[in-house]
Amino acid sequence: MEKKNKNFKGVKELKGISYQEITNKNAVEKLKQKRQIKRTVDELFKGITSGDTTSLSQGITLIESTKTEDRVLSNKLIEQCLSIEATKSIRVGITGVPGVGKSTFIEAIGRTLAKKGNKIAVLAVDPSSSKSKGSILGDKTRMTELVRASNVFIRPTASGKTLGGVGQYTREAIILCEAAGYDRILVETVGVGQGETAVYEMVDFFLLLKLAGAGDELQGIKRGIIEMADAILINKADGSNKDAAKLAMSAFRSALHLYAANTSGWSPKVMLCSALDHTGIDETWAMIEAYVKFTSTNGYFQKKREDQNVHWMMQTIKNQLNIEFFQYSKTKKFIKQQIELVKENKVSPFVAAQAVLRQHKSSL
């Protein structure tokens, strides 16, 4: 019983409930009721800026909604969050193939930062099933220690149909987290390989986790995700895998010399770590801080954020046009007609697509 009470201490939403009540059904019901309260945008904004994690969770849920009425409200909430002087943060994107140990690494580095007094937000993106459209969203279960820290917020999100390893509204979630005072934002991608580049457009530092002895060393000579990385971290450099990790580190360092110099002026680093043994974690964060200092001095840090804002303005326009296009009643009806024609081989998919676009344009 004592152990259960201790675990419940880390659930920040139970503030105001005595520890004697924690195992009581009334306490659980009180938590459920708090989560179900429908709040106005102004109430959400006030809650977010005052550090209420329930408001932050509900705010992110709102901005992830594709309902027309919710889009209006979410835009207002984002605008309010942008109107204040948000916490100066460091945004770190963390990617790597499934099984490389991203969640374990995030828990290790997150605990280190939490002990230093930082407020950490972890935005973890889980893959969505192409069949059921569902997602496990199990990142919290893999960060059992970090989830109990009072200065840590973990939000798992389904990737949906979005490509690039992140959710469609991960960028907006970052804005809300910064408005809530989180100064260290860790974005964990789905982990599907070379295509995970969308996260690069929303973070300050792009960290690529690799494994030794899994064929990943050969990826060092390929373009794509590796040339975007500000650092490559060989994870699981422990036990009998240490020697293989050192060889992998040497291979990646040699491969990086084949690439052109980064526009930031920063030379990408290759390091070893073991999230399990907690070795190399402090050194990794020291490297990230060195990068921030270096790029802040030469002006690249601010320029990159400005470029990212422009990129996400254009991306938001595309997303909004996409939503409005497929929700337009006349267009939806015409698309169904064209689908039947395509199925019957009466028109080609290309001709049908062109017909849909012409019809939509003429109906506006």
Q: Where are the domains of the chain?
A: 2-82, 86-299, 308-363
Residues 352/358/362/364 CA torsion (nearest 10 deg): 90
Tens-place pLDDT, residues 8-29: 444 445 545 554 555 555 655 6
The average pLDDT across 88-111 equals 91
pLDDT of amino acid 140: 55
Whether the Cβ atoms of residue 145 and residue 107 lie closer than 8 Å to each other: yes
Tell me the pLDDT tens digit for each residue of 285-324: 999 999 999 999 999 999 999 999 998 888 888 878 887 8
Q: Which fold has domain 86-299?
A: Rossmann fold (3.40.50)
What tokens were used for 128?
């969505």
Pairing of β 120-126 and β 205-210: unpaired
pTM: 0.79
Share the mean pLDDT of the chain: 82
The mean per-residue pLDDT over the stretch 154-158 comes to 83
DSSP strands (E only) in the chain: 90-95, 120-126, 152-158, 184-188, 205-210, 231-234, 269-272
| pLDDT value, residue 231 | 95
- Predicted pLDDT at 329: 86
The secondary structure of 167-194 as a DSSP string is: -TTHHHHHHHHHHTT--EEEEE----ST
Greater pLDDT, 153 or 220: 153
165 falls in which pLDDT band (50, 70, 90)?
very low
Q: Is the pLDDT of residue 35 over 60?
A: no
Three-state secondary structure call for residue 135:
coil
DSSP-derived 3-state class of residue 208: strand
Residue type for position 324: E
- Alpha carbons 93 and 83: distance in angstroms, whole number: 25
Most distant CA pair in the chain, distance = 70
Assign 214 a pLDDT band (cuts: 50, 70, 90): low
CA–CA separation, 250 and 122 (whole Å) = 31
Determine the pLDDT at residue 358. 93
Percent of the chain whose pLDDT exceeds 90:
48
